Amino acid sequence: MPRCLPLAFLAAPLLLLALPAQSSGPAASVHDGEAVIIAHRGASGHAPEHTLPAYDRAVEMGAHFLEPDLQMTRDGVLVAFHDATLDRTARGPSEFCTGPVRERTLAEIRECDVGSWFNERFPDRAHPSFEGLSVVTLSELFARYGDRVRWYPETKQPDQNPGMEEALLALLHRHGLRDAAVERGHVLIQSFDPESLRRLRTLDPELPLVQLLSRQAMAGRTPAEVLEAVAGYAQGVGPNHSLIDAGFMAAARQNGLFVHPWTVNDPVVMDRLLELGVDGIFTDFPDLLADRISALGR
**51-110, pLDDT tens digit by residue?**
999 999 999 999 999 999 999 999 999 999 999 999 999 999 999 999 999 999 999 999
Of the candidates 191, 275, 215, which has an alpha carbon nearest to the alpha carbon of residue 226?
215
Residue 83: φ, ψ to 5°: -80, 155
Catalytic: 175?
no
Structure confidence at residue 29 (pLDDT): 64
For 7-85+136-296, CATH number out of 3.20.20.190, 3.30.470.10, 3.40.1160.10, 3.40.50.720 equals 3.20.20.190
| Catalytic residue (choose from 46, 64, 82, 186) | 82
Amino acid at 67: E
Integer Cα distance of 79 and 291 in angstroms? 31
Radius of gyration over every alpha carbon of the chain, rounded to an integer in angstroms = 18
- In the predicted model, what is the mean pLDDT of the chain? 92
Q: What is the pLDDT of residues 141-198, one digit of tens each?
A: 999 999 999 999 999 999 999 999 999 999 999 999 999 999 999 999 999 999 999 9
Q: What is the pLDDT of residues 3-55, one digit of tens each?
A: 343 333 333 332 333 333 444 455 556 877 789 999 999 999 999 999 999 99
What is the per-residue burial (b if ≥16 Cβ within 10 Å, else e) of 65-85? bbbbbbbbbeeebbbbbbbbe
Integer Cα distance of 115 and 132 in angstroms? 6
Q: Is the pLDDT of residue 261 over 60?
A: yes
- Please count the other Cβ atoms lying within 10 Å of the Cβ belonging to residue 298: 20
209 pLDDT band, cuts 50/70/90, is very high
Catalytic: 82?
yes
Of the candidates 141, 158, 173, 180, which has an alpha carbon nearest to the alpha carbon of residue 59?
141
Q: Is the pLDDT of residue 122 over 60?
A: yes
Q: Is the pLDDT higher at 20 or at 114?
A: 114
Structure confidence at residue 26 (pLDDT): 59
